[in-house]
Amino acid sequence: MAELAVAFGFSLFAGLSTGLGGLIVALKNTPSQRFLAGALGLSAGVMVFVSLVELLPEGVDGLSEAGRSRPDVWAAVAFFAGIALIAVIDRFVPEEINPHEGPDVRAAGRMRRVGVMTALAIAIHNFPEGFATFFVALQDPAFALPIAVAIAIHNIPEGIAVAVPMREATGSKWRAAWWATLSGLAEPLGAVVGYLLLRPFIGPEALGVVFAAIAGVMVFVSIDKLLPTAIETGRHHTAIYGFVAGMAVMAVSLLLLA
């Protein structure tokens, strides 16, 4: 039970960071474009590096331990299945309400009449991220910490994207902050639902597939959402430097944990 509580705590922490974005809007202290570019780039670097260097190999190892022939092939299949899953989710969110389809995370101020739909769109995107954070933390909490922090960082501008139109729609900055927080609760919900669905099947093979699929989800999130949003702030080099720094931080942390 303690392991489950810790893993759930990581997902809850990452999800509730959308509330920090809402709080920023409520306090009218909008982060600079340079900060957004660097923070989003850093998150993308952490998630890409850990996905390809740690999670995908973990998936291969799990499938190999389960006796699956050609575990590398099955891990690759699961990896691209994860990408396909999150891509389909992304496609089901109409462009006009998709908070990741604008040139600026703060451009959500133009979407006053679709504030609730924006919050729902964020929730849809956050669901598989909560699932990913939970399952990694369930296996190794120390390893999951940088992942949870990276997801939390990228959830802050998502909270801003929810809170700005909701502030315009409701006329209340604190109600807007609440909606931003509420949208992030899809992450711990994703953790619970994913665990309940997969609990009867948890074993080396299932975990191998899950880890490889999570790697795919995280890589897609990074290259489809984080890096483009970071670059579109107009601070291209800051975004790239943040991306490289994120990979370096993750590499050093993995070496220290080895």
Q: Comparing C-alpha atoms, which of 183, 70, 49, 189 is closest to residue 122?
A: 183
Query: What is the per-residue burial (b if ≥16 Cβ within 10 Å, else e) of 58-93?
Result: bbbbbbbebebeebeebbbebbbebbeebeebbeeb
The reply to whether 126 sits in an annotated binding site is yes
Q: Is 109 exposed, middle or buried (0-12, 13-18, 19+ CB in 10 A)?
A: middle
The reply to whether 129 sits in an annotated binding site is yes
The reply to whether 155 sits in an annotated binding site is yes
Q: Which two tokens stand for residue 173?
A: 């900055």
The reply to whether 98 sits in an annotated binding site is no
182 contact partners, CB below 8 Å, separation of at least 6: 119
The reply to whether 154 sits in an annotated binding site is yes
**DSSP at 95:** G
Instruction: Tell me the C-alpha distance between 5 and 216, whole Å.
Output: 25
| DSSP calls for 57-94 | HHHHHHHHHTT-SSHHHHHHHHHHHHHHHHHHHHHHS-
The reply to whether 187 sits in an annotated binding site is yes
Residue numbers in the known binding site for Fe(2+) are: 126, 129, 155, 158, 187
Residue numbers in the known binding site for Zn(2+) are: 129, 154, 158
Residue numbers in the known binding site are: 126, 129, 154-155, 158, 187
